Amino acid sequence: MIYTKLEVSPQVVHDVLLSYLRENSNSFVIPPPISNQIAPDRHWFEATREAGKPLNELIDAVFNQLTVSDMLTREEVPVDDSTVMNAYNAYFPLQIKKIILEEILELIRFGVLFQGKYQPKAPNQNFDFSFDFTHGTVMLTEFGVKFLADEQSPPHYSTKQFLERLSQYSEPDEELKTYLSEGLTCLRHHLNRAAAILLRLAAEHMLQQLIQSTEKAISQKAEREKFISYIRKAGIRIEERAEVIFRKLEASSALLPSSGYCDEVANRLRASFHSIRTLGGKASHTSAKIQMEEVIDHYSLFASSVYPIIVKIIEYHATLVAP
């Protein structure tokens, strides 16, 4: 006997829910009357009465989409007791449905959905409706329709998955985790500007770690003091601080894990860091439009070209200063 352990991240549930709402948006709004059909008033009346979907039906629909996709993590666990098997086979689907419910309630809080139904005031007498909030029917708001049309879904990875990707190189410290976790949460809720600014802070945090590591790794006192003076002269000007450390690493092969790392710093790290810095600076101006796709690309850039390169150099520096 076996039970199937099912797991899914809230972000994946969020994305599948938005995808389902986009594909079925006509079912969640009041349709306009269509004048070129027979009895347009009656047709519109019936469509309005049927608009929306009961909360439990929406949860089941999203759950079914998840189960037929490859987005659920499945693990078959052997057991000796059928009662244990039955309990867990009911427990895990219920847990996922709870996550779906939480995401629906979050969209209601955000103003994308509202919970209510249009009920005929006097069926078969007129076409007037009243609001009924007792049935649990979910519908799209006008803002929700625009939101689904204008915005794309964030990438199909959760904060946990993103941090696990970084952990393949080295475990991120708590400060970095905070910047990235809050940034990805903002991205998930389509707060592109805030996500870009938090990513810049994450990149600046890694830059500071690289500066401190390099300072310790420089063995000659005069050379180290010269490096420190350049950093101090740059002050809080991030672009200048970055160029001081990048130029130092490019000019000092002994501070890099291998000769090939000079190109990594010059071509990948420098360009990626400054691109993230520039985006974060742009996002600080409210007149600038920040596209979600642009922010997503820069989070991927951080994970592929900023974090791993800096971590590798810092780890190498640790071997130079080891007692």
> What pLDDT digit, counting tens, does each position of 93-125 carry?
899 999 999 999 988 888 889 888 777 766 665
Strands 53-54 and 73-78: unpaired
Whole-angstrom distance, CA of residue 13 vs CA of residue 10: 5
Assess contact for 299 and 237: CB atoms under 8 A: no
Confidence (pTM): 0.61
Q: Report the pLDDT value the prediction gives residue 299, as an integer from 0 to 100.
A: 93
Assess contact for 143 and 109: CB atoms under 8 A: no
Strands 73-78 and 2-7: antiparallel
- Alpha carbon 82 to its chain centroid, in Å, reads 39
Whole-angstrom distance, CA of residue 70 vs CA of residue 195: 27
- Is residue 236 packed enough to be buried (19+ CB in 10 Å), middle (13-18) or exposed (0-12)? exposed
Structure tokens at 186: 């903002």
In this structure, the number of other CB atoms found within 10 A of the CB of residue 217 comes to 19
CA 265, 173, 323 angle in degrees (round to 5)?
75
- The dihedral built from the CA positions of residue 25, 29, 34 and 39, taken in this order, carries a sign that is positive
Whole-angstrom distance, CA of residue 169 vs CA of residue 155: 21
Q: Report the pLDDT value the prediction gives residue 156, as an integer from 0 to 100.
A: 44
The percentage of the chain sitting over the pLDDT mark of 70, rounded to a whole number, equals 90
C-alpha torsion 76→77→82→88, nearest 10 = -80
Mean pLDDT on 7-15: 84
Give pLDDT tens digits for 72-96: 888 888 888 888 888 888 888 899 9
DSSP per-residue string spanning 149-196: HH-PPPPS--HHHHHHHHHTT-PPPHHHHHHHHHHHHHHHTT-HHHHH
- Checking if the pLDDT of 292 tops 50, the result is yes
Assess contact for 181 and 159: CB atoms under 8 A: yes
Q: Report the pLDDT value the prediction gives residue 262, as an integer from 0 to 100.
A: 86
Mean pLDDT on 139-147: 86
Mean pLDDT on 53-58: 91
Tell me the pLDDT band of 158, cut-offs 50, 70 and 90: low
